[in-house]
Structure 1
């Protein structure tokens, strides 16, 4: 049996070991905090450097005559690069610049939201009337569906012979799971206030009435699309029963159909049509600072969270 003196010695040793361990963990915690502070400071310096160095890449307000370029890339939808908010702001800046002799939209888009396309089309028509300045479209890979809705507002559309052009139609897609649910013995329970609130629910059998309502809505949007194309292309359009059927064609065929005006690329249009071969890009760009903040901020933030989780904080 241990004596009182031995017990006290053991307790003293235990307290000393605990104190040493607590001090060691505090030193580790302080060391990690210093490292994280240095990392964040480095990130701030990198963002600041990128922000200030970025100012010399593109002239913010060119004073020499030039062709104003706006890229239309990807899907037309909210919160995308090709949203109406982003594109109309860029197109507006291009029109308002007195040194820009004309505006060119370079198209590489399969289309998307008819609402976004309609907003951009309306704004182009307004700006053309206000500034008495021409807008041209140059198609590279694709100008289909909603993208062509926008292009119809142009004074002229130029394509590559292999570009994809057209798809003047409207679609609504989804899935039906009723057969699968029957096999699995799953029952769908949907409570609504309003006869058509559950319209086109994929877990319920399709209703003839609701399907007819949806088709009516699609036809209305389709007629809006057709009206925009007819007004934009005018007598140049060689309309056939297939023109508004949703089909798409090569650029070469689109020229024959009056959906486009000729074969040309951006440089040719700037040099020969606009007569200003200096091209200035007005497309909204995600600057280097934003990319650094997203990339390094996310990785540092994740590292910080993991580090703090691994520490044993002393309180």
Structure 2
């Protein structure tokens, strides 16, 4: 990675996934631009010796949390330790395509050197087979990055594992990732970026390979699967409430985010979701009726245990 001043910081939060982390780290090496560092934030048990040896060989920096803080908090800690002007995120069970980060760096240096209100991401290839993931990540691809010109919000919202990058100044401006949200914190984060006036940049090609297979143990499973509908409903409600101003600019995106909230609220029982919908400001009467029908459908399915 050289001794030049660090400009790009790759941040990988990890929890109980050392074999998968090793593959993620190897993929980063084939995508890393000059003047970079790699920061692994370990939110789980201490690494075994083979993992420590690999990180030393690759020159990656290891940061240990007190454990169990969640991916959002781990990413914030990584950002605090980052020396780069640009933060590049990768999940520990995913792979980054060869050359992708290098293409992002070229784009930044050509178009965004003086910009701070910028973030971006790429298309991702979902895979359940690790060997196929390696093949897809190793394929030579041309990456053409471009600004998102649409006024719609939804195309500008993405998970932090899909080759996501953001200026450190912007990350700090919005206060980082909300650590109270253990799921869908990436949606909340993107909405905060857009509320701050950020411009989204998109890569249509597949720059990330997302693992959708078996993680082997419950401890290593998807974070989303660890939380029931009541907790997830609370997370969605928080996003709907706190991001109401930016969501009001795009009724389609607003309804899109209300739907998973109402689904989880219906599955958890009670009338809270419906009452929240009735008193919500900004939604048209027609939109409320459609969403109420959606909520009622999930209530029926929940009562029949068909959810």
Same fold (TM over 0.5): no
- Higher radius of gyration, 1 or 2: 1
Give TM-score scaled by structure 2 length.
Answer: 0.30
More helix by share: 1
Give TM-score scaled by structure 1 length.
Answer: 0.29
Higher relative contact order (CA 8 A, sep 6+): 1
